[in-house]
Amino acid sequence: MSDSIVHSSHWGAFHARRGGDGLDITPHPGDRAPSKILQNMRHALDHPARVLRPSVRESWLRHGPGPRARPIGDPFVEVGWDTVADLLAGEVRRVRDAHGPRGVYGGSYGWASAGRFHHAQSQIHRFLNTVFGGYVSGLSSYSAGAASPLLPRLIGSFSELSRNTVSWKQIAAHTELIISFGGMPLRNSAIGNGGVSDHVEHGSMSEMAARGGVFHLVSPIRDDLPEDIDVVWHPIRPGTDTALILAMAYVLQDEGLEDPAFLETYCVGYERFREYLSSDADEGPKTPTWAERITGIPADEIARLARDLARKRSLITVAHAVQRAEYGEQPVWAAMALAAMVGQIGLPGRGFIYALGSFAHTGRQKVAVPIPVLPQGKNLCDACIPVAAISDMLLNPGKPHSFMGIPQNYPDIRLLWWAGGNPFHHHQDLYRLSRAIGRVDTFVVQEQVWTASAKSADIVLPISFSLERSDFGATRNDPRLFAMQQLCSPKGEARSDYDALSAVTAALGPREHASFTEGRSAEDWLRHLFEPTRAALDALGEDAPDFDEFWQRGWIDLPCRPDSVGFLEDFRKDPTGQPLGTPSGKIEIFSQEIAAYGYDDAPGLPVWRPHQRGPTADYPFVLIANAPAARLHSQLDFGETSAATKVAGREKLRINPADAAKLGLKNGEIARLENDRGACLAGVEMSDLVRPGVVQLQTGAWFDPQPDPDRTAPVFCVHGNANVLTYDKGTSQLTHGCTGQIGRVAIRKWTGRAPPLRAFDPPPLTSSPSTEPRHD
């Protein structure tokens, strides 16, 4: 271990060393626009929120596995690794014998850390496959719950489309006009899953602007595109993009601005879409005047936007956020259809791109060699749910449900095992989630820190931070492979997920242990997993150092594939020889397959469906619960950068000054947000960048439930976790994606006492058990 080490994270590569006050963190020298989120790590290693020893809920120790309320704030008993490994081995055997893999949910959604070997989800999947022969899995993601299953039916592979088609390079060089639904906020492209060594987004946008390129931002919030770039802001009412897009399509067909040759050669179903636009269905013809009433965007502005789209070298971008809402499929599908109408799909920097700018790992060249990954083994259990159906599944065992037309029944989950995610950050309607978790027999969480999820668990395993172990940092769209060198030993009794799970397999028996570890230590695994990358580099005649040299250097450059519009370019050049992966091989403006499922909330073509949970007289404000600027989700919310953004010690509520004045709210005051799901407090910041009628409360404030002094809400978070207010209702019957982006609330000034924060306090801990641990 040297004094200064090279390391990587989802929010950037960096150098770290122990300084006088916490860690000194300096960004990787190649990064043109490093993220301030790096500084959240300064005091993380020694923070009081860390889980230091294996801990077991006192009531679980006393009564054993079984359904029960699992309140946050209940006491835990710290035990040794041997004891906890025996307890877990006993619970694995019990559930395996009585229920098999259908009794364990291993979806374990979450971002965990950037390292590829100590990737928590891979580790836990490998473990569950080894010891149970499989587990009930979670499909899709909270990011793109509607879009990721939908897009392969309409245009092609979700990850190929979002990662390897339109690139920032192309945009800088070619694009004249971007219409961005939901924006491309720099705060979001600060993050790349697996790491990012150079942030190129701002530079590329500036190049396009310098060439005279024009940005149209369709979003309720202005800084969804950088404030120093001139943009035309269309402050749309949230949840109404589909109406705007349909009206633009109406203008194109009405004025004969479509590209008939493109539609004929490359698409199916345009005729039906065109008929729909003028038909009496769903509120009648989709004219700009119709859309103005719904969206708040003037009709002539809509018509002009449509004409510009057709006449310029144009690109439509759709952020994840726009589909993380009721009927989330519709704006994505409609935007793709609109882009198809103007015939530019497959040309450099033009056409349609999904999720560009929602992350740093989009819009870049693909690495030409494999990056290290841990094999997860085989999951022999076919039961699965869309990830965002977790509460639904736990509360309704046996109930029929379906996903993309495939019917199943929810399994009866007895054991819930999480590593690398924080459901009390990511899931909607936290009150419902806590009831759902009360139904299982045992909830296991592997965590670095006492998150609300850890405090809701029965058994918590203390996990090392990435700085306390060695790993690889890499993603398929970043041109560097990093050695994530170890800075120091794990705090307390923390272990890596690998070592933690190895201890459990050892307690289960030599067969399980051997098949999980394959006889390798963590370091043996790193050497083993590096080899395919080295061999591929060598075969290409590239710089291919051996493991020890790579480790000592800290990083190596990886060759990338040439920039191109990927499969869309191939398809454009040769539509019959290189068809799309869709059922028809073409772009599906109408999908026969989806139509055949017969869902009214997601029929066979893009349609207008108004949100069921829009604002009402009781809850007049639209809540935007979006990605946080100062951290990744809930990770390191106690860190320096995140803490500096809190207002009155709580999560910040951004509100338009006119709305604030009506409510008698001023900067720095505390507001109470409430609806029929729950209530929370937040600190007020007035901002003209937020559209009137909309308020913004970013996600990720650690859940801090305390008794509601007003006694009106079933759950009251004093810190400002937006998910006490969001609805746990899937996007549609088709995809059941997460709808957490948009909610509705009533707001008033909080005049009561400001309750102290307990979010970052560990639960009450005793180290000597009040009863003997059970060994069964």
Question: Is 419 or 587 the residue whose CB approaches ligand MGD more closely?
Answer: 419
Give yes or no for residue 565 binding ligand MGD (CB under 6 A).
Answer: no
Q: Where does this chain touch ligand MGD (CB under 6 A) — which range of 250-258, 405-413, 580-588, 622-630? A: 622-630
CB 586 within 8 A of CB 193: no
Q: Does 319 bind ligand MGD (CB under 6 A)?
A: yes
* Sequence-ordered list of residues with C-beta below 8 angstroms from that of 746, at least 6 positions apart, any chain: 618, 619, 620, 621, 673, 674, 675
Residue 749: half-sphere exposure toward Cβ, Cα within 13 Å: 12
* Per-position x/- string for 345-374, each x denoting binding to ligand MGD as judged by CB under 6 A, each - no binding: -------------xx---------------
Query: Is the CB of residue 722 less than 8 Å from the CB of residue 621?
Result: no
**Is 354 an annotated catalytic residue?**
no
Site stretch for ligand MGD (CB under 6 A), options 305-313, 335-343, 583-591, 628-636: 628-636
CB nearer Mo ion, residue 221 or residue 670: 221
Strand order in the sheet with 177-181: 231-234, 214-218, 177-181, 314-318, 351-354
Among 624, 655, 679, 686, binds ligand MGD (CB under 6 A): 624
List the single partner that 422 binds among Mo ion, ligand MGD, none, CB under 5 to 8 Å by kind.
Answer: ligand MGD
Residue 194 Ramachandran class (φ > 0 left, ψ -120 to 50 alpha, else beta): left
Catalytic-role residue among 60, 81, 111, 276:
111
From the CB of 330, what's the least distance to ligand MGD, in Å?
11
Rounded Cα distance between 159 and 148, Å, is 8
Q: Which of residues 184-223 bind ligand MGD (CB under 6 A)?
A: 185, 187-188, 190-191, 218-221
- From Mo ion, ligand MGD, none, interface partner of 442 (C-beta below 5 to 8 A by class): none
Residue 396: CB minimum distance to ligand MGD, A: 21
Classify strands 621-624 and 587-588 as parallel, antiparallel or unpaired.
unpaired
**Active-site choice (11, 105, 109, 702):** 109
Looking at beta carbons only, is 143 or 317 nearer to Mo ion?
A: 143
Residue window 684-723: x/- pattern of binding to ligand MGD, with contact defined by CB under 6 A: ---------------x----------------------xx
Tell which residue, 736, 145, 134, 121, has the closest CA to residue 383.
134
H or E element at residue 10: none
Based on CB atoms, which residue is closest to ligand MGD, 422 or 434? Answer: 422
Report the residue number, 50 or 163, with the smaller CB distance to Mo ion: 163
Contacts of 141 (CB under 8 A, 6+ apart): 109, 148, 387
Both tokens assigned to 552: 């000592």
DSSP character string of 596-647: HHT-TTS-SS------TT---SSS-EEEE----SSSBTTBTTTSHHHHTT-B
Q: What is the dihedral of CA 128, 130, 132, 134, to 10 degrees?
A: 70
111 is a catalytic site residue: yes
On whether the CB atoms of residues 19 and 729 are closer than 8 A, the answer is no
Report in angstroms how near the CB of residue 557 gets to Mo ion at its nearest: 28
Look at residues 3, 6, 4 and name the one whose alpha carbon lies nearest to residue 470: 6
Which two structure tokens, joined as six digits, stand for 752?
Answer: 């009561």
CB of 497 vs ligand MGD, minimal distance in Å: 5
Which listed range, 136-144, 338-346, 487-495, 685-693, lies at the site for Mo ion (CB under 5 A)?
136-144
SS in 3 state form for 525-561?
A: HHHHHHHHHHHHHHHCCCCCCCHHHHHHHCEEECCEC
> What minimum distance in Å lies between the beta carbon of 512 and ligand MGD?
20
Torsions phi, psi for 231 (to 5 deg): -130, 155
Site string for ligand MGD, 437-466 (x = CB under 6 A): ---------xxxx-x-----------x---
Q: Who contacts 210 (Cβ-Cβ below 8 Å, separation ≥6)?
A: none
The nearer residue to ligand MGD, 319 or 504, going by C-beta atoms, is 319
Phi, psi of 694, rounded to the nearest 5 degrees: -120, 140
Q: Check if the beta carbon of residue 692 is closer than 8 Å to that of residue 413.
A: no
Shortest distance (Å) from residue 703 CB to ligand MGD:
11
Instruction: Pick out residues in 140-199 that bind Mo ion (CB under 5 A).
Output: 143
Of 14-22, 303-311, 581-589, 624-632, the segment contacting ligand MGD by CB under 6 A is 624-632
Binds ligand MGD (CB under 6 A): choice among 309, 371, 627, 746:
627
Residue nearest to Mo ion (CB): 143
Which of positions 72-111 make contact with ligand MGD (CB under 6 A)?
Answer: 110-111
In terms of CB distance, is 188 or 582 closer to ligand MGD?
Answer: 188
Binding residues for Mo ion restricted to 460-519, rule: CB under 5 A = none
Q: How many CB atoms lie within 10 A of CB 233?
A: 18
Sketch the per residue contact string, 379 through 398, with ligand MGD: x for CB under 6 A, - otherwise.
Answer: --------------------
Closest approach, Cβ 537 to ligand MGD, in A, equals: 27
CB atoms near residue 511 (< 10 Å): 11
Distance (Å, rounded) from C-alpha 641 to C-alpha 636?
Answer: 9
| C-beta of residue 35 within 8 angstroms of C-beta of residue 202 | no
- Residues at the contact surface with Mo ion, assessed by CB under 5 A: 143
- Residues at the contact surface with ligand MGD, assessed by CB under 6 A: 110-113, 118, 120, 142-143, 181-183, 185, 187-188, 190-191, 218-221, 224, 236, 238-239, 241, 319-322, 324-325, 358-359, 419-422, 425-426, 428, 446-449, 451, 463, 497, 624-629, 632-635, 699, 722-723, 726, 738, 740-742
Catalytic residues: 109, 111
